[in-house]
Structures are given as C-alpha cells and as structure tokens.
Amino acid sequence: MDAALLSWFADHGRDLPWRRTRDPYAVLVSEVMLQQTQVERVIPRYERWLERWPTVHALAAASPADAIREWQGLGYNRRAVNLHRAASAVAERGWPDDLTELPGVGRYTADAVRAFAFCEPVLPRDTNVLRIEERTGHRFGYACGQALMDLGRTVCVARIPRCGGCPLARSCPSRGRRYDPRRKQSPFAGSFRQRRGETLRRATSGNLRVRDVDTDVVASLERDGLVETREGVVSLPA
C-alpha cells in the first residue's frame, strides 16, 4: 500500500508553502495554525506571519499582544499565546529533545515537527492518517505522512469516501462504505466562544472597562493568557 500511495502523491500532492521548508519554526507555525482551521484560510496568514516574524527569535522578541493581534480571525486565540511562549522557550534554551515540553505542543504536533523539519523516522498521526489506517487496516511507514494527509483531505474523506479515485481501493476492506455524519458542533451564535472572541476584539483597543463586559468571559480569557486587567481596564498582555 505504501508504494501505491506514494506514487499517487507524486502526481496529486498539494503544493503548500510549509512543505517547501525544513525550518522547524516555520513548520511549527504551520502546524499550530492548521489546528481546527482550513488550509485555504491558513496559507495567507502563515505567509504574513513569517514575513513579520521570519525566525523564532523574531517572534520571541515580539510582545504577546502583537501575536494575539496578528492571530485575529484564525480563531482559538490561545494558540497564538502558546506559539509565542514556545518561541520564547526555544529562543532561550533551544529546541528540546522532547518537543511536547513546549507550550501548546501535543504528541501530533511534536511528531509533525520531528518528521517534516528534523526528518526523523516518525509518522505523525492526525485525524486523516488515523482514519485511513483504520479503514485500510494497514500501518503505513513514516515516509507516507504528507501523502496520507492529502489522501484523507481529498479522497478518503470522513462521510462519503471517493473510492473511485483512491490508489488504495483495490486492497481496502472498507471500499464502498459510507459513514454517519459526525455530531454537529453547537451553534456559534450566542455561544460563550463567540462572547470570548468579541471581548478579545474589544480588548485590543485598550479601553475596555471591566464593568462593561461579562466577568466570566474576562476570567476565561485571563486564564488563557489572552488579556489582563489593570485598574479596571481589560487589555491585551503587555
């Protein structure tokens, strides 16, 4: 299966900007941005981020507030804080042997940086990779990482796989199957998450008074390091 997959990838692999570099910082930025955010939205923001902060030391020298402002629109803003904290840790001490020691870096992200930046023989297993391995019953080699991600994104999709265009279909025991839709996420409008996002946007002005906002929202943002309160004013961290 590995050979068939890699042959397909040679013809159908996506040309993505983070695949043109082995810089661990650039790979980390891409992986953090891609968490729960579509590739099409990430590409221009990734390029703009690296234009502004091209190295890990450049980001570490910036303020958390600048990182949060630049992140606006990507969602899950805590990722910006963790990315800034990770850059600060690397700038101070270098890349750790265990990348999960960095703020906000879990097992998958650590493995992705190890594989795509440091060229270590490890297969990062995201949702797409796990889905394909479960459906095929096959454990793929580490060289198949990018190919599996593209296959899962474009062919072996969650609900109705496009088996007619799959290079693995001939030997796949799940060929032709359809899958139930995932449980829908609760509505965003009116949600606590929406209120958090709106409060954070208002805090970027620096003149948001505590008395004018939901204290539970402010407390949640403070716990995530996204805002701080001084003299009754809610603002981004200095």
Confidence of residue 223 (pLDDT cuts 50, 70, 90): confident
Report the pLDDT value the prediction gives residue 186, as an integer from 0 to 100.
65
Q: Burial code of 64-99, b = ≥16 C-beta within 10 A, e = fewer?
A: bbbbbebbeebebbbbbbbbbbbbbbbbeeebeeeb
Q: What are the chain's domains?
A: 1-13+121-182 (1.10.1670.10), 23-116 (1.10.340.30), 192-235 (no CATH)
Catalytic residue among 31, 51, 92, 101: 31
AA letter at 53: W
Largest CA distance in the chain: 67
Is 31 catalytic? The answer is yes
Of 190, 133, 197, 178, residue with least CA distance to 5:
133
More confident residue, 76 or 92: 92
Which of 155, 195, 192, 194 has its CA nearest to residue 175? 155
Q: Give per-residue pLDDT as tens, 92-151.
A: 999 999 999 999 999 999 999 999 999 999 999 999 999 999 999 999 999 999 999 999
Q: At what angle do helices 145-154 and 2-12 cross, to 10 degrees?
A: 70
* Mean pLDDT (whole number) for 76-99: 96
Question: E-strand spans in 73-217?
Answer: 208-209
Q: How far apart are CA 175 and CA 168, in angstroms?
A: 9
What does the DSSP 8-state code read for residue 180?
A: P
pLDDT score for 191: 81
**What does pLDDT average to over the chain?**
92
Please state the φ and ψ torsions of residue 99, each to the nearest 5 degrees.
-70, -15
Q: What is the mean pLDDT of residues 13-31?
A: 97
Q: Are 165 and 5 in contact (CB under 8 A)?
A: no
